């Protein structure tokens, strides 16, 4: 028969120990995108800026990037699109010429010495 001292020793060793669940600290926060946009507009206008230094830098960078897009010349945009189209057509023509004509087989047979 199992002695009482043995049962107490088993219990003290931690076989039946169940740790309590660890708690957490949840702080509910509310985010209002309209209020954030209003704050940024106010800061951009130079009125009562209560933004942190990091947020001010982000705002300045966003302004610079947006003005760069707005100042882009339409002629430059069309010339860039035409350049991309020419490159795409060249690549398509090159693939067609290499893979759909006997050029590839001639190159391979020439390399193999036939």
Residue owning tokens 């690549």: 91
What does each of the 114 residues of the chain score in pLDDT, given as a tens digit? 667 777 777 766 766 677 788 888 888 787 888 888 887 777 777 666 667 778 778 878 877 777 666 667 788 888 989 999 999 999 999 988 888 888 878 888 888 876
Question: Considering the entire predicted model, what is its pTM?
Answer: 0.38
The sign one gets for the Cα dihedral 35, 38, 44, 46 is: negative
The sign one gets for the Cα dihedral 57, 59, 63, 66 is: positive
């Amino acid at each position: 028969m199992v002695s009482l001292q043995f049962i107490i020793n088993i219990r003290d060793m931690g076989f039946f120990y169940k740790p309590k669940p660890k708690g957490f600290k949840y702080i509910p926060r509310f985010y209002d995108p309209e209020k954030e946009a209003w704050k940024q507009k106010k800061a951009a206008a130079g009125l009562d800026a209560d933004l942190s230094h990091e947020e001010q830098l982000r705002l300045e960078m966003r302004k610079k990037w947006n003005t760069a897009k707005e100042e882009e010349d339409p002629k430059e945009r069309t010339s860039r699109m035409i350049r991309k189209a020419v490159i795409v057509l060249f690549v398509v023509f090159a693939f067609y010429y290499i893979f759909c004509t006997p050029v590839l087989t001639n190159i391979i047979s020439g390399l193999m010495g036939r």
